[in-house]
Chains A and B, each alone.
Chain A
Amino acid sequence: MKYNKLFDSIVIDNKPVGKNLYLMKIQTPDGIISNPGQFLSFLVPDKTFRRPISILNNHSGVIELLYKIKGDGTKYFSTLKSGESINFTGVHGNSFKVGKRNLLIGAGVGMAPVYYMYSMLKEQNIPALLACGFREEGEIPVCFKSEFDFISTDDGSYSNKGSIVNYVENLINNFKPDNICVCGPVIVMKLISEIAQRHNIFCQVSMEKMMACSIGACRGCVIKIKDNGVIKNSAVCKEGTVYDSRVVFYDLVEGGEDA
């Protein structure tokens, strides 16, 4: 198969699993292999941009996607019913590198790629700890509630109270990871990157950006990164979404996530 990156797939299931949060399952086209951190770009009728959604899981012929309703695109996805068709491109982007002991941190819907990493590592019996932070209990996807090793909520409505960032130090001291993977709001990734650097632990962040082409052609999702001291451009869709947490200029990349 030569042109193997554009697919019409069928929605198998699509249901709310938390506040403004949906879990969609779609048929996996033959031969699609993906890794944690990678994403698919979905067509929305009458919209110019496709919507990138991170893969939550890909096994037994089903791709699972967790998405939060943030704008017109995700609102449209929430109306899709089983049996309906959905068009996507992918698989796009790079993926998380695996360490010996992996601390996986997600904030909000950013839990998707780190959850994917977690399930993959568990299958391979590689030590991993999944710690996720949410604003409130309602934002925790019910179906995964029992699978987290650690949960915090900003308002204390469930489990530990406060931002997940406040607990990272402790998690590091107890779990002793050599690899940290983070996905969530830019500020969360920035703060955890700083903590990881203080502990001298390799840390990877998964960036989220509005995209036009998803394949590195339009240069719309480009952020500036530090590469051996040199500032250069990097297309989040192709060279990302996963970066060594030390190369990102966090203060320059806010915004452009509400699609």
Chain B
Amino acid sequence: MPDLRVNKNGLKLKNPIMTASGTYGYNLEYEDYTDLTLIGSIVTKAISLKPRLGNDWQRIIETECGMVNSIGLENVGIEVFLKEKLPVLLEKGIDFCVNLAGSTFEEYVELAQLCEINKIGMIELNVSCPNVNHGCLEFGVDDQVLYRLVSMVREVYSGCLIVKLTPNVTSIEKLGLASQKAGANAVSAINTLKGLGLKLFFENGKFRKEQVKGGYSGKGIKPVALSAVVRLKEVLDIPIIGMGGICCLEDVFEFFAVGAEAVQIGTANFTHPDIAGKLVLELEDFMKKNNFNTLDDLKGALRNE
């Protein structure tokens, strides 16, 4: 059996296939489609201190190569998460990471403290959601602000701390470096791109439009994501979790080739709800058939090309 484990700088996963925040619910949403215990780590929907209703309809629209969403961080809040969602994850033996979204420094710290108290082993800071008016993105676009935020969270949280970076900046490298300097165990990249999905209909002599302004994700963003990972890899020592448009094993390999240690599957979960578990099995199968004993062997082969 090949060894699929990832173990770098405190980022410990049984395999490198994770699911991206916002696409996989909180715990058992996909249990009718795949074995959730197969997945390296399920990243929960972003959790805030208080529950959020999110944005009004229309929240999603399909584009040529993906979708634009403006969910607006709808979530149950940390209290309900800890009470109702967390016990199910633990009981079912599902590996998970909790994505946290705050609107002030103090909120992030409080959220991280609650995760520390509840012995949650891995958190991902959402500092890059494009769909809310305050918070989140504001923390993710300025390297000094981000450094301060990650440092404050680092002080209260001892588990694996991941910072999810936005591509909607001039230099993603600076933000990666700020996260690293502040003590993050890893960065994940990329969150959605700012996008506008627009559809025009000409009906009964009049134009009607449907549009969603928000985060663009799916197949179309893969080249942007690969470029972000490459640039981060050039400056960072901490591991990078790559994501953006991954739909198949070849896509996973591409992210490994440019330096990602693990990957997250996002929008593809909507199209193929069984894909995350399937990719784990396909990766294992590929390594077995082609004599790659460890993930580093495989990554090494991909990176030497």
Most B Cβ at <10 Å: residue of A43, A50, A210, A232: A210
Give Cα A222 to B35, complex, Å.
Answer: 26
Asked if A220 and B71 make an inter-chain contact with CB atoms under 8 angstroms apart, the answer reads yes
B-contacting residues of A (Cβ < 8 Å)?
A: 3-6, 43, 47-50, 89, 209-213, 215-224, 231-233, 252-253, 255-256, 258-259
Give Cα A158 to B254, complex, Å.
Answer: 59
Q: Which of B206-244 contact A (CB under 8 A)?
A: 210, 218-219
Asked if A3 and B32 make an inter-chain contact with CB atoms under 8 angstroms apart, the answer reads yes
Please, which residues of chain A bring their CB within 8 A of the CB of B56?
A: 224, 252
The digit string for B47-60, where 1 denotes a CB below 8 A from any CB of A, is 00000011011111
The main secondary structure of chain B at its interface with chain A is loop
- Least Cβ distance of A81 to chain B in Å? 23
> With A49-B62, A50-B271, A255-B210 in contact, do A3 and B57 touch (Cβ < 8 Å)?
no
Asked if A212 and B60 make an inter-chain contact with CB atoms under 8 angstroms apart, the answer reads yes
Give the contacting residue for B271; candidates A43, A220, A231, A252; CB below 8 A: A43
Asked if B60 and A221 make an inter-chain contact with CB atoms under 8 angstroms apart, the answer reads yes
Asked if B59 and A48 make an inter-chain contact with CB atoms under 8 angstroms apart, the answer reads no
- Least Cβ distance of B275 to chain A in Å? 11
Asked if A48 and B218 make an inter-chain contact with CB atoms under 8 angstroms apart, the answer reads yes
Please, which residues of chain A bring their CB within 8 A of the CB of B271?
A: 43, 47-50
Asked if B53 and A232 make an inter-chain contact with CB atoms under 8 angstroms apart, the answer reads yes
By beta carbon, the residue of chain A nearest B53 is A233
Asked if A5 and B67 make an inter-chain contact with CB atoms under 8 angstroms apart, the answer reads no
Give Cα A47 to B274, complex, Å.
Answer: 16
> With A220-B60, A252-B56, A256-B58 in contact, do A48 and B32 touch (Cβ < 8 Å)?
no
Interface-forming stretch among B19-27, B98-106, B167-175? B19-27
Give Cα A52 to B205, complex, Å.
Answer: 28
Please, which residues of chain A bring their CB within 8 A of the CB of B24?
A: 217
Q: Which of B185-221 contact A (CB under 8 A)?
A: 199, 201, 210, 218-219
Give Cα A213 to B34, complex, Å.
Answer: 14
Please, which residues of chain B bring their CB within 8 A of the CB of A47?
A: 62, 271
Give the contacting residue for A255; candidates B23, B29, B32, B58; CB below 8 A: B58
Give Cα A233 to B33, complex, Å.
Answer: 25
| Sample of 14 further A-B pairs with CB below 8 A, known A223-B57, A258-B201 | A3-B34, A4-B32, A47-B271, A48-B66, A89-B273, A210-B58, A213-B23, A213-B270, A213-B273, A215-B30, A218-B71, A219-B59, A222-B57, A222-B71
By beta carbon, the residue of chain A nearest B210 is A255
Asked if B267 CB lies within 8 Å of chain A CBs, one says yes
Give Cα A6 to B25, complex, Å.
Answer: 18
Please, which residues of chain B bring their CB within 8 A of the CB of A50?
A: 270-271
The 4 tightest CB contacts between A and B, nearest first, are: A220-B60, A217-B25, A217-B29, A5-B32
Q: How many A-B residue pairs have CB under 8 A?
A: 112
Please, which residues of chain B bring their CB within 8 A of the CB of A218?
A: 22-23, 60, 69, 71, 270
- Least Cβ distance of B251 to chain A in Å? 15
Please, which residues of chain B bring their CB within 8 A of the CB of A4?
A: 32
Give Cα A252 to B24, complex, Å.
Answer: 26
Give the contacting residue for A210; candidates B33, B61, B269; CB below 8 A: B61
Give Cα A50 to B60, complex, Å.
Answer: 13
Please, which residues of chain A bring their CB within 8 A of the CB of B54?
A: 219, 222, 233
By beta carbon, the residue of chain B nearest A223 is B57
Asked if B74 CB lies within 8 Å of chain A CBs, one says yes
Asked if A48 and B33 make an inter-chain contact with CB atoms under 8 angstroms apart, the answer reads no
Give Cα A49 to B67, complex, Å.
Answer: 8
By beta carbon, the residue of chain A nearest B32 is A5
- Least Cβ distance of B74 to chain A in Å? 5
By beta carbon, the residue of chain B nearest A257 is B210
Please, which residues of chain A bring their CB within 8 A of the CB of B29?
A: 213, 215-217
Give Cα A219 to B26, complex, Å.
Answer: 12
Asked if A210 and B62 make an inter-chain contact with CB atoms under 8 angstroms apart, the answer reads yes
> With A215-B30, A216-B25 in contact, do A224 and B270 touch (Cβ < 8 Å)?
no
Asked if A224 and B53 make an inter-chain contact with CB atoms under 8 angstroms apart, the answer reads yes
Give the contacting residue for A213; candidates B63, B66, B201, B269; CB below 8 A: B269
Asked if B33 and A6 make an inter-chain contact with CB atoms under 8 angstroms apart, the answer reads yes
> With A3-B34, A217-B29, A255-B210 in contact, do A212 and B270 touch (Cβ < 8 Å)?
yes
Asked if A48 and B71 make an inter-chain contact with CB atoms under 8 angstroms apart, the answer reads no
Q: Which of B254-285 contact A (CB under 8 A)?
A: 267, 269-274
Asked if B30 and A217 make an inter-chain contact with CB atoms under 8 angstroms apart, the answer reads yes
Give Cα A43 to B218, complex, Å.
Answer: 16
Please, which residues of chain A bring their CB within 8 A of the CB of B53?
A: 224, 231-233
